[in-house]
Amino acid sequence: MDADLIVIGAGPAGIIAAFTAAREGAKVILLDKNKTIGRKLAITGAGRCNLTNHTDMNGLMENTPGNGRFMYSAFQRLSPEALMDLFQKELGLPLKIERGNRVFPESDKAQDVVGVLYQELKNKGVEVRTATKVAGLLSTSDQIGGVRLDNGKELNSPMVLIATGGLSYPGTGSTGDGYQFARLVGHQVVPLTPSLIPLETREVWVKRLEGLSLINVEVTSFYQGKKLQSEFGEMLFTSFGVSGPIILSLSRKISPFVLEKPDSVSIVIDLKPALSKEDLDLRVQRDFAKSINKIFKNVLDDLLPQKIIPVIIELSGIDPLKPVHQINREERTRLVGLLKSLPLTISRPRPIAEAIVTIGGVNTKEINPKTMESKIVKGLFFAGEVMDVDAYTGGFNLQIAFSTGFVAGMEAVRRVTALCM
Ligand SMILES: Cc1cc2nc3c(=O)[nH]c(=O)nc-3n(C[C@H](O)[C@H](O)[C@H](O)COP(=O)(O)OP(=O)(O)OC[C@H]3O[C@@H](n4cnc5c(N)ncnc54)[C@H](O)[C@@H]3O)c2cc1C
């Protein structure tokens, strides 16, 4: 045997699994096809790494729409609190908590997170082999035996962990290899779709607003007219559609629908969520009264960002040169309606390569939630995004990777120990 445990993939899930198992005395080999470990981790949180969310089990469940129940036990074994203790007390990385309970390293450097994890791998004697690509698994009918590398070499081990990540940002190494490894030994892979992804719109006027960020707006999504979800916060217009924090959150539900049926989802943007329709109408009337001799296109400056004014005027159908005192009630009602619900039709999500996470993956029904071991092949474990689990933004996806990696590392050692007795 070359090792007690071979871990495929040095992302957060694989790294924590590797040093957790090594801490328990196991001989561990950690393989990654990249030249360095934690490539994706190093770009998370816009380079700052939102590594978890300082919340309780309810918060975790609410924010894990993709198989949250499956995660329950792993979240209990390594909670956000325990993960923060691990980083601060054991790995020596000071952390801070920001708005929405998001946890970041105090230094604001994702690279520091990768740095302390790498140090721990070294301290615990994990054999880290980078630039080493796994081509397949070695297994008998129901027992794992090791891995085959792409240079043809074989490494033998009674325990193997697949922690190869999802399908997004393939430049970081997450190219979906683990799905194929799992399929070949009999696992089912739940269809893969993008989540936390910018959305393309049917309307082309968005291009004129490219780069415009709206703060404190409320966006609501509808599937065939039925309300899906509402989010309040910040969004951004792009050349192809919409993006920004609340759009990414909404995309979790929207993406599978529009991939199946393009144009079936619409969103409406409430540009003035703090005001009811009636209050906004009064506000517009006051603005008009202040500028009684001005023309329509020159009276919206106090109400809206400059860039969006021409678009709103066009969509309102009101003549931009019309003096405001000539604007009638029906026209004003139309304008207010538009400001309260600016509609857009979602044509499709951006390609999965641009997603923050992947929906779908190795079917969780075939994985023991208490151990992360395959129910099909003994000694084969899964952790992180390769499984059919996903969460919203806020540090929850990294918590999933760390919690499941931790459990897999602990349980793989337990299985090796049992084998030896
Ligand atoms: C731009 C961006 C920002 C993000 N920001 C955040 C954030 O702030 N907070 C948060 O919670 N989540 C964030 N996420 C999501 C989070 O990064 C992922 O969910 C997480 O990295 C998944 O961890 P993982 O260990 O399962 O897989 P990955 O981090 O994807 O690691 C998988 C590793 O496996 C290796 N590998 C794959 N195939 C093979 C093979 N055949 N042989 C050898 N090695 C292989 C890859 O090279 C890679 O290093 C972000 C994602 C992106 C894309």
Cα-to-centroid distance, 3 and ligand 1 (Å): 24
Inside any domain, residue 66: yes
Which parts of 94-166 are beta strand (E)? 95-98, 102-105, 127-129, 134-139, 144-149, 154-156, 159-162
330 shares its domain with 366 = no
- Confidence (pLDDT) at 51: 98
- Asked, for residue 127, whether it belongs to a domain, the answer is yes
Are residues 22 and 142 located together in one domain of the fold?
Answer: yes
3-state helix, strand, coil in the chain (%, to 5): 40, 25, 35
Q: Is 39 in the pocket of ligand 1 (CB under 6 A)?
A: yes
Six token digits for residue 417:
């120990």
Give the pLDDT confidence of 298-332 residue by residue, as tens digits: 999 999 999 999 999 999 999 999 999 999 999 99
Q: What pLDDT score does 271 carry?
A: 98
Q: Residue 388 and residue 328: Cα distance in Å, rounded?
A: 54
Single out the residue in 316, 349, 382 at which a domain terminates: 349
73 class by beta-carbon count within 10 Å (0-12 exposed, 13-18 middle, 19+ buried): middle
| Residue 355 within any structural domain of the chain | no
Q: Which of 291, 315, 349 is the last residue of a domain?
A: 349
Are both 262 and 377 inside the same structural domain? no
Q: What is the pTM of this model?
A: 0.94
State the CATH number of the domain containing residue 320: 1.10.8.50
Q: How confident is the model at residue 419 (pLDDT cuts 50, 70, 90)?
A: confident
Candidate of 19, 43, 172, 174 to mutate for ligand 1, largest count of ligand atoms within 8 Å of Cβ: 174
CB atoms within 10 A of CB 115: 17
State the pLDDT confidence band at 400, using cuts at 50, 70 and 90: very high
Q: How many structural domains are present in the chain?
A: 2
What's the mean pLDDT when you consider all of the chain? 96
Residue 129 shares a structural domain with residue 19: yes
pLDDT in the model for residue 15: 98
Q: Which tokens go with 164?
A: 């190869």
Per-residue pLDDT band for 123 (boundaries 50, 70, 90) equals very high
354 within domain boundaries: no
Where does the pLDDT of residue 292 fall: very low under 50, low under 70, confident under 90, or very high at 90 and above?
confident
Q: Is residue 39 part of a domain?
A: yes
Q: For 218-227, what is each residue's pLDDT tens digit?
A: 999 999 989 9
Q: 154-172, pLDDT tens digit by residue?
A: 999 999 999 999 999 999 9
| CA nearest to 287, candidates 271, 304, 305, 270 | 304
Of 304, 330, 349, the domain-final residue: 349
Residue 76: its pLDDT value, please? 98
Three-class SS string for 366-409? HECCCCCEECCCECEEECHHHECCECCCCCHHHHHHHHHHHHHH
User: Is ligand 1 within 6 A of the CB of residue 198?
Assistant: no
Residue among 44, 129, 357 to mutate when testing ligand 1 (max atoms within 8 A of CB): 44
Q: Is the pLDDT of residue 421 over 90?
A: no
What is the structure's pLDDT at 126? 98
For residue 296, which of 323, 274, 270 has the smallest C-alpha distance? Answer: 323
Alpha-carbon gap, residue 199 to 137, rounded angstroms: 37
Does 223 lie in the same domain as 96? no
Does ligand 1 come within 6 angstroms of the Cβ of 48? Answer: no
173 ligand 1 Cβ < 6 A? yes
CATH number at residue 164: 3.50.50.60
pLDDT band at 141 (very low <50, low <70, confident <90, very high): confident
Q: Verify that 170 and 222 share a domain, yes or no.
A: no
Give the residue-averaged pLDDT of 14-26. 98
If asked whether residues 128 and 248 sit together in one domain, one would say no
Residue 314 located in a structural domain: yes
pLDDT 10s digits, 333-377: 999 999 999 999 999 999 999 999 999 999 999 999 999 999 999
Asked, for residue 402, whether it belongs to a domain, the answer is yes
Asked whether residue 258 falls in the same domain as residue 330, the answer is yes
Distance in Å, CA 73 to ligand 1 centroid: 22
Whether 162 and 127 map to the same domain: the answer is: yes
pLDDT interval class at 418 (50, 70, 90): confident
Stretch 396-412: mean pLDDT = 98
Distance 11 CA to ligand 1 centre (A): 5
pLDDT band at residue 420, thresholds of 50, 70 and 90?
confident
Are both 207 and 187 inside the same structural domain? no
Q: Is 165 in the pocket of ligand 1 (CB under 6 A)?
A: yes
Report the pLDDT averaged over residues 50-75. Answer: 97
Same domain, 188 and 206: no
392 within a domain of the structure (yes/no): yes
184 plus 275 within the same structural domain: no
Structural domain containing residue 145 = 5-192+360-420
* H-run or E-run covering 179: helix 177-184
